[in-house]
Amino acid sequence: MTEESKLLIKEKEIVVPGEELAKGMDFLPSAGSYRSEDAIVSEVLGIAKVDGKVIKVVPLTGKYMPKRNDVIIVQVSDVTYSSWSLDTFSPYSAMMSMKDATAEYLERGADLTKIYNIGDYIVAKVTNVTSQKLVDITVKGPGLRKLRKGRIIHVNSNKVPRIIGKQGSMVNIIKEHTGAQVAVGQNGVVWIYSENPEMENLSEKAIRKIEDEAHTSGLTEKMQVWLAEQVGGKK
Amino acid sequence: MSYSKRNDGRGFDELRPIEAKAGVIKSADGSAMFKIGKTVAYAVVRGPRDLYPKFLKDPTKGILRVNYQMMPFSGVGERIKPGPNRRAKEISMVTEHALSNIIILEKFPNSVVDVYIDIPQADAGTRCAGISAAAIALADAGIPMKEMVSAVAVGRVGDKLVVDLDYSEESFEGGASDMPVAVTSRTKKISLLQMDGELEASQLKELLEKARKACAQINEIQKSALKEKYNVEEVEENDSE
Domain boundaries, chain A: 6-59, 71-147, 151-234
* Percent of chain B whose pLDDT exceeds 70: 95
Q: Average pLDDT in the B118-142 region?
A: 96
Contact between chains at B227 and A14 (C-beta distance less than 8 A): yes
Q: What is the pLDDT of residue A230?
A: 87
- Of A14, A44, A217, which is closest to B241 when you measure between CB atoms? A217
Neighbours of A34 (CB within 10 A): 15
**What is the DSSP code (8-state) at residue B125?**
-
Contact between chains at B147 and A18 (C-beta distance less than 8 A): yes
Say whether A182 sits in a helix, a strand or coil: strand
Asked if omega into B48 is within 30° of 0 (cis), the reply is yes
Q: Please check whether residue A67 touches B, CB under 8 A.
A: no
- Reported confidence tier of residue A102, pLDDT bands at 50, 70, 90: confident
Nearest to A96 by CA among A132, A68, A124: A124
The H or E element containing residue B152 is strand B149-157
Q: Please check whether residue B230 touches A, CB under 8 A.
A: yes
Interface test with A, best of B223, B231, B232 (most A CBs within 10 A): B223
**What is the DSSP code (8-state) at residue B17?**
P
Largest alpha-carbon pair distance within chain A?
Answer: 69
- Of A14, A17, A32, which is closest to B146 when you measure between CB atoms? A17
Q: Please check whether residue B240 touches A, CB under 8 A.
A: yes
Q: What is the pLDDT of residue A233?
A: 75
Please tell me which of A46-50, A78-82, B126-130 the model is most confident about, judged by mean pLDDT.
B126-130
User: Does the A71-147 domain belong in CATH 2.40.50.140?
Assistant: yes
Query: How distant is the Cα of A218 from the closest Cα of chain B, in angstroms?
Result: 8
Helix-, strand-, coil-residue percentages of chain B, each rounded to 5: 35, 30, 35
Q: What is the pLDDT of residue A12?
A: 87
- Reported confidence tier of residue B181, pLDDT bands at 50, 70, 90: very high
Crossing angle for the helix pair A169-178 and A197-212, to the nearest 10 degrees:
150
Contact between chains at A63 and B29 (C-beta distance less than 8 A): yes
Crossing angle for the helix pair A219-234 and A197-212, to the nearest 10 degrees:
150
Q: What is the pLDDT of residue A234?
A: 67
Q: Do domains A6-59 and A71-147 have the same CATH topology?
A: yes
Q: What is the pLDDT of residue A64?
A: 94
Contact between chains at A61 and B30 (C-beta distance less than 8 A): yes
CATH superfamily of B18-224: GHMP Kinase, N-terminal domain (3.30.230.70)
- Reported confidence tier of residue B137, pLDDT bands at 50, 70, 90: very high
Q: Please check whether residue B137 touches A, CB under 8 A.
A: no
CATH superfamily of A151-234: K Homology domain, type 1 (3.30.1370.10)
Q: Please check whether residue A92 touches B, CB under 8 A.
A: yes
- Of A14, A18, A132, which is closest to B230 when you measure between CB atoms? A14
Contact between chains at B140 and A45 (C-beta distance less than 8 A): yes
Q: What is the pLDDT of residue A110?
A: 83
Nearest to A68 by CA among A4, A131, A3, A11: A131
Report the C-alpha gap between B75 and B66 in whole angstroms: 21
Query: How distant is the Cα of B16 from the closest Cα of chain A, in angstroms?
Result: 24
Query: How distant is the Cα of A235 from the closest Cα of chain B, in angstroms?
Result: 31
For residue B178, what are the β-bridge partners? B155, B196
- Summary mean pLDDT of chain A: 91
Query: How distant is the Cα of B35 from the closest Cα of chain A, in angstroms?
Result: 20
C-alpha dist (Å) from residue B83 to B18, B88, B207: 28, 8, 33
Interface test with B, best of A61, A159, A217 (most B CBs within 10 A): A61
Q: What is the pLDDT of residue B6?
A: 92
Q: What is the pLDDT of residue B236?
A: 44
Q: Which CATH architecture has domain A6-59?
A: Beta Barrel (2.40)
The model's pTM: 0.91
Decide if B98 contacts B148 (C-beta within 8 A).
no
Q: Please check whether residue A11 touches B, CB under 8 A.
A: no
| A153 pLDDT higher than 60 | yes
Q: Average pLDDT in the B160-167 region?
A: 94
Q: What is the pLDDT of residue B233?
A: 54
Q: Which residues of B touch A36 (CB under 8 A)?
A: 186-187
Contact between chains at A45 and B142 (C-beta distance less than 8 A): yes
